[in-house]
Copies of this chain bind each other. A is one copy, B any other.
Amino acid sequence: MNLLLLSNSRNPDSGYLEHARPWFSDFLSGAKTLAFVPYAAVRFGYDQYEKAVSDALGDLVEVRSVHRGSPADIVSECDAVAVGGGNTFHLLHELYRFGLIEGIRAAVAAGMPYCGWSAGSNIASPTIRTTNDMPIIEPPSFDALGLVPFQINPHYLDAHPDRHMGETREERLLEFAKVNPSVPVIGLREGSAILRDANGARLLGSRSARIFRGSEPPAELDAGSGLDVLFNQ
């Protein structure tokens, strides 16, 4: 299975998907066409989303948004698939609505490269139970693509707004781990990504990731670490 799962689409001081260009360039080197899933967009249109991705990756691959025709047909006609960030609940709701869950799962199981960022990485998990997003719309189920056997928490952050009394991210993920003790979580900090290809799986970027698993204390996984152990549990 070939996966490139980014925490975020943009670093503070760079353009859209710019920090990940070398990764996309390698990952999509065998692909001519990329089916793009824009359903996480809520406050901007799918045309605009497609253009942003095409502006960022169009010199590497031809970007075709699935809203341009039959979504399932477009996925099956392309060489790779990408799912963009936005609202995870909206994304999953629309994936169910357009019947794309099984099609994407099957294509990726058969070797089609899958890339995602933010919500698009979260839905590669078994469920969306570690999304940071607001549940603005109710999907038929929290079950997601399940391309990886652990949960991804994108935009993992250590900071907490001063004098704010809501839960920290760590507290939220410890609650997940308490209720779901058998499912590990990887908190991906901004600028990080998971790559899985024929050479195995590893953590990309310059920052460590944070691992949560049942009642174990959270642990740091160094930048560049292999991730095969998470895939082969």
Contacts and interface: CB of A to CB of B under 8 A. Distances in A.
Interface of A: 8-12, 42-43, 87, 90, 118, 127-138, 141-142, 155, 157, 159-167, 171-176, 178-180, 190
A178 B129 contact: no
A118 B174 CA distance: 19
A167 to B, nearest CB: 8
A28 to B, nearest CB: 23
Best-buried of A8, A12, A42 by chain B (most CB within 10 Å): A42
Contact of A135 (B42, B131, B165): B131
A42 to B, nearest CB: 4
Given A42-B175, A138-B141, A175-B43, A165 B132 contact: no
A162 B42 CA distance: 24
A42 B178 contact: yes
A175 B130 contact: no
The 3 closest A-B pairs by CB, nearest first: A159-B161, A155-B166, A42-B175
A8 B165 contact: yes
Given A131-B134, A134-B130, A163-B190, A87 B12 contact: no
A137 B161 CA distance: 26
Given A159-B161, A161-B159, A161-B161, A136 B166 contact: no
Best-buried of A136, A159, A172 by chain B (most CB within 10 Å): A136
A159 B157 contact: no
Contacts of A131: 134-135
A212 to B, nearest CB: 11
Contact of A176 (B10, B136, B155, B157): B136
A142 B43 CA distance: 22
B134 A165 contact: no
B134 A173 contact: yes
A167 B9 CA distance: 12
Given A118-B166, A137-B179, A155-B166, 4 more contacts: A8-B165, A9-B165, A10-B165, A155-B165
